[in-house]
């Protein structure tokens, strides 16, 4: 769709999503050793507060709210103008980041973690559907790929940028950067996205009706396992490189950046592959991940082979995002927004489960054995995908 004299929204969508996702990536930063750094306004000294439990609460409350409330909030928002929803969500993200920058009260910070968590699943559910609706049906998968490209760009550059600002300037500067890019996204959506009122609102009953499909629940569990496979290992990526590969901090930073950049490439590779053949792509993805993990396990102690593996690993990792979404949407075509909200919610469940089980593997078996947690989950996902295809 051509908007405002030649600007195509599907070409801008990834840009806006990148700005949004940069602002969310700030929460990946903390200064290690269980300390959260904050510089209260008007104080020249930086106060260090031992907030291990509170950091865990701030991180987990976001995922919990997203997982529980996402589908229901998306249902309630299904009759509201799409542009209004996206603008409201991005504005809430900007406000939250400004609050994070200046508050020193845990209760206030917790409240403003809950607020963006409420809008997070609605934003992504609506953004994915909106991108698909703004182009001809045969190009919808490519439009969704571009939205995921925005997410992968956020992964690649959002974390390093905000971590750099937090280290070199202050944590407040990092949060204000997040607010600034959210405001840029707000302006972009306001200027380039046309008004999209809902012409025919789908009833709650019809949307909820997709939950009666056994294939949908099989797919949901498969999505949980895919994300658990991805994040049971990736959550401890830096620790693995440091303790098993014996890379120093500089090398680990380079590897993190390499991983993020190759995620961008992988996003388009898997997007193109899905467009050609969804069945083959969905079946090949978990097998590729097993191969990557096996190479990581057996060659993880060697620096240069591991550097090559990270390059491939990043590309395959990004496939999990787009493959999972495409897989789930095959069973939620009747209610795409509600289906996407299920994807956002249950992918967060997968991340939480994966990180928890990965931590258990490290605690009881050692960090080198962590890889087997990822292999276990991805094989379970592969098995469920096969069963789903057999009964469909």
Express each pLDDT in 351-384 by its tens digit: 889 988 998 999 899 999 999 999 999 999 999 9
Asked if residue 157 lies in contact with residue 39, where contact means CB atoms within 8 angstroms, the answer is no
Question: What's the mean pLDDT when you consider all of the chain?
Answer: 80
pLDDT of residue 7: 34
pLDDT of 313 over the 90 cut:
yes
Of 129-138, 228-237, 242-251, the poorest mean pLDDT is in 129-138
What pLDDT shows up at residue 383?
A: 96
φ and ψ at residue 47, rounded to 5 degrees = -95, 135
- Of these ranges, 12-16, 140-144, 357-361, the one predicted with the greatest mean pLDDT is 357-361
Q: What's the rounded Cα separation, in Å, for the pair 330 and 339?
A: 9
Q: 59-63, 222-226, 346-350: which has the minimum mean pLDDT?
A: 59-63
Residue length of the chain:
392
Per-residue pLDDT reduced to its tens digit, 156-212: 777 777 777 877 888 888 889 889 989 998 998 899 888 888 777 766 777 888 888
Q: Which of 230, 332, 344, 330 is nearest to 274 (CA)?
A: 330
For residue 43, pLDDT over 70 is answered with no
- The predicted model gives 305-322 an average pLDDT of 93
Count of CB atoms within 10 A of residue 156's CB? 24
Query: Which residues, at least 6 apart from 158, have a Cβ–Cβ distance to it below 8 Å?
Result: 18, 21, 22, 23, 24, 25, 26
pLDDT at 105: 81
Query: With left for phi above 0 and alpha for psi between -120 and 50, is residue 87 left, alpha or beta?
Result: alpha
Average confidence (pLDDT) over 135-139: 73
CA 274 vs CA 195, 285, 319, 325, 383: distances in Å: 30, 11, 10, 11, 20
Band (pLDDT 50/70/90 cuts) for residue 38 is very low
Give the β-pairing of 35-38 and 2-3: unpaired
How far is 277 from 195, CA to CA, in rounded Å? Answer: 34
pLDDT at 13: 42
Give the 3-state secondary structure percentages of the chain, helix then strand then coil, rounded to 5. Answer: 80, 5, 15
Query: Angle CA(48)–CA(52)–CA(53) in degrees, nearest 5?
Result: 130
* Burial class of residue 367 (count of CB atoms within 10 Å of its CB; 0-12, 13-18, 19+): middle
Give 82-136 pLDDT, tens digit per residue.
Answer: 888 889 989 999 999 899 888 888 778 888 888 888 888 888 878 877 877 777 7
Cα gap 186→156, rounded to integer Å: 21
Rounded to 5 degrees, φ, ψ at 49 are -120, 130
**Is pLDDT of 36 > 80?**
no
The residue behind tokens 């046309």 is 194
Distance in angstroms (rounded) separating the CA atoms of residues 199 and 188: 24
DSSP 39: -
Q: How confident is the model at residue 56 (pLDDT cuts 50, 70, 90)?
A: low
- In order of 60, 64, 120, the CA distances from 352 in angstroms are 8, 9, 16
pLDDT in tens, 323-357: 998 899 888 888 888 888 888 889 888 988 998 89
72's tokens? 């229901």
Tell me which DSSP letter residue 146 carries. H
* Residue 48 falls in which region: left (phi positive, over 0), alpha (psi -120 to 50) or beta: beta
Q: pLDDT class for 289, splitting at 50, 70, 90?
A: very high
Q: At what angle do helices 249-276 and 278-299 cross, to 10 degrees?
A: 160
The whole-model pTM stands at: 0.78
Q: Measured at the alpha carbon of residue 373, what is the angle toward residues 225 and 269, in degrees to the nearest 5?
A: 55
């Amino acid at each position: 769709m051509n908007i405002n004299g030649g600007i195509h929204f599907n070409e801008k969508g990834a840009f806006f999503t990148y700005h949004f996702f940069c602002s969310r990536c700030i929460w990946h930063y903390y200064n290690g050793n269980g300390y959260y750094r904050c510089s209260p306004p008007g104080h020249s000294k930086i106060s260090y507060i031992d907030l291990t439990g509170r950091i865990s609460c701030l991180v987990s409350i976001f995922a919990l709210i997203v997982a529980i409330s996402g589908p229901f909030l998306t249902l309630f928002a299904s009759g509201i103008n799409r542009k209004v929803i996206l603008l409201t969500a991005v504005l809430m993200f900007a406000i939250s980041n400004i609050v994070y920058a200046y508050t020193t009260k845990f209760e206030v910070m917790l409240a403003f973690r809950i607020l963006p968590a409420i809008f997070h699943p609605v934003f992504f559910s609506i953004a994915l559907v909106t991108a698909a609706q703004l182009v001809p049906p045969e190009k919808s998968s490519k439009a969704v790929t571009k939205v995921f490209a925005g997410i992968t760009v956020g992964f690649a550059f959002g974390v390093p940028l905000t971590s750099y600002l937090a280290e070199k300037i202050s944590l407040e500067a990092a949060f204000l950067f997040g607010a600034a890019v959210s405001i840029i996204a707000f302006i972009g959506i306001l200027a380039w996205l046309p008004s999209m009122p809902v012409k025919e609102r789908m009833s709650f009953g019809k949307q909820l009706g997709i939950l009666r499909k056994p294939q949908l629940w099989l797919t949901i569990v498969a999505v949980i396992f895919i994300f658990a496979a991805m994040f049971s290992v990736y959550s401890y990526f830096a620790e693995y490189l440091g303790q098993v590969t014996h890379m120093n901090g500089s090398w680990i930073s380079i590897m993190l950046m390499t991983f993020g950049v190759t995620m961008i490439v992988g996003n388009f590779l898997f997007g193109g592959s899905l467009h050609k053949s969804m069945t083959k792509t969905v079946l090949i993805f978990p097998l590729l991940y097993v191969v990557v993990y096996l190479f990581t396990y057996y060659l993880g102690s060697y620096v240069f082979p591991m550097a090559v593996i990270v390059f491939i690993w990043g590309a395959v990792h990004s496939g999990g995002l787009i493959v999972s979404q495409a897989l789930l949407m095959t069973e939620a075509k009747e209610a795409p927004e509600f289906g996407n909200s299920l994807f956002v919610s249950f992918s967060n469940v997968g991340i939480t489960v994966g990180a928890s089980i990965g931590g258990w593997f490290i605690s009881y078996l050692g960090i080198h054995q962590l890889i087997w947690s990822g292999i276990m989950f991805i094989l379970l996902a592969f098995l469920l995908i096969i069963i789903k295809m057999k009964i469909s």
